[in-house]
Amino acid sequence: MKLFSVKTILLLCLTLGLAPFFPEPHIWGKIKWIAGGAVGMQPMDWFDTIFHGFPWLLLIGFGIGTLIKKRQGHLNK
């Protein structure tokens, strides 16, 4: 059973995953903050990172699942 189509996941990534867009995508700023040691991050910042990162995790999971299915189909032939 599919919960999301690839189009829906892409739409989520381009809207929720990147919003707000200026001065830089929000998730990009959070990733840089975490890579810099996450100094001063509060629980709300971590929740915000998960919230904006979830569409990207869905996209990665969808891509991996698609690759696995294609590989299994190719091996069964």
Using CA of residue 55, residue 59, residue 64, residue 66, what is the dihedral sign?
Answer: positive
- pLDDT, one tens digit per residue, over 9-40 is 999 999 988 888 888 898 999 999 999 999 99
Q: Write out the two tokens for 12.
A: 């989520």
For residues 44-68, give the mean pLDDT.
Answer: 92
* Mean pLDDT of all residues belonging to the chain: 88
pLDDT of residue 56: 94
Q: Write out the two tokens for 74.
A: 């190719």
Enter the pTM of the model: 0.78
Q: Do residues 28 and 49 touch, judged by C-beta distance below 8 A?
A: no
pLDDT of residue 60: 94
